[in-house]
Amino acid sequence: MKPAAFTYHRARDVEGAARLLAELGDDAKVIAGGQSLVAMMNFRLARPAHLVDIGGLSGLDGLRTDAGGALHIGALTTHHAVETAPPEVLGAGFAVLRDAMRWVGHLPIRTRGTVGGSLAHGDATAEWCLLAVLLDAELVARGPDGERRIPAAEFFHGYYTTALEPEEILVEVVFPRPAPYAALTEFAERRGDFATVSAAVDLEPADGPEGAEDSGREGEPELVGGGGRFRAARVALGGVAALPVRVPEAEEALVQGGPYGPELYAQVAAVAAESVDPPSDANGSAHYRRTLIRTLVAHACEEAMSR
């Protein structure tokens, strides 16, 4: 269908856009890449009276690593720019982000769709939302009153609902630390569709880069390969609730269990499946989603440890 009529505003800078949004109120929407919004407008699921186009703003795209090792991604960075980022810009510590991009729609969506747009849209199955929750990202929002940083754990409130105020614009997402043993995987009925279930893990093997000097701590006998255990682990799922969720039970099982290997991953995946209460809808029943979780969490662990 054709979208309903609206008034188009092209922002000159973030401050101007924020002021305009404050002025226009609830009837206005920010548009960046538009890969979710335009589809919703064409369906007339969304009928904003005003669009504030921030797509042309400079200085809001690109990736950079700061002195502390945190990765900053500008809100207007496209999925494809992350997918094709050279190793000197996106190192091994964040390879999980690059690899996850192949799950985001298709190439012509990834060339337009933006990281910030995906996060601000807040789809419960979106890869960026899951990655932000998994890796403790901080989302930087700018409004008429200045800038604030919102932890991912507090950013997503439910279906398409975030902590962003109507007059705030997401300008950057910060991934605070490298995650060399992290992976995201998912299942969708057709390639490129929104995931029925997505699973992501971030593992810290005790013999990993930071753990090497720690092994043997607390008087434990130093085993070959650090004992094959995890010092810490994070597990997050998409498509099982109104927002991406961490699964503490599965994380606990990863750290308590061991040694790592297919047996542990299967066990942990089963724990994850029993720890959530997925919905039944047109994409799959709760039972089906649990079955997917059992497969996907194990696959994600395997992929993370094969890095």
Partner 1 sequence: MTDDVSTPEHPVRQQQLISLHVNGEAHELLTEPRRTLVDVLRHDLRLTGTHVGCEHGICGACTVLLDGAPVRACLMFAAQAEGSEIRTVESLADGGGLGDLQRAFSEHHGLQCGFCTPGFLMLAEGFLAERPEASKEEIREVVASNLCRCTGYQTIVEAIDDCAARRRAALRARVEGTAHQDENTSETVPPRAACEEVPCGSTTRSR
Q: Which residues in this chain contact partner 1 in the complex, by CB under 8 A?
A: 1-8, 10, 27, 31, 34-35, 38-39, 41-44, 49, 51, 53, 55-56, 80, 84, 102, 105-109, 111-112, 191-192
Comparing CB distances to partner 1, the nearer of 106 and 217 is 106
- Asked if 135 and 162 count as a contact pair (C-beta separation under 8 A), the reply is no
Comparing CB distances to partner 1, the nearer of 50 and 148 is 50
Q: How far is the CB of 153 from partner 1 (least distance, A)?
A: 30
Look up residue 261 and give its amino acid: G
What's the CA gap between 98 and 284, in Å, rounded?
28
Pairing of strands 50-53, 28-31: parallel
Comparing CB distances to partner 1, the nearer of 45 and 67 is 45
Comparing CB distances to partner 1, the nearer of 111 and 295 is 111
Comparing CB distances to partner 1, the nearer of 42 and 256 is 42
What's the CA gap between 164 and 280, in Å, rounded?
29
Q: How far is the CB of 86 from partner 1 (least distance, A)?
A: 14
Peptide bond before residue 108 is cis, with ω within 30 degrees of 0: no
Q: How far is the CB of 116 from partner 1 (least distance, A)?
A: 16
Q: How far is the CB of 97 from partner 1 (least distance, A)?
A: 19
How far, in whole angstroms, is CA 259 from its chain's centroid? 28
Nearest to 237 by CA among 153, 189, 160, 296: 296
Q: How far is the CB of 117 from partner 1 (least distance, A)?
A: 12
Peptide bond before residue 259 is cis, with ω within 30 degrees of 0: yes
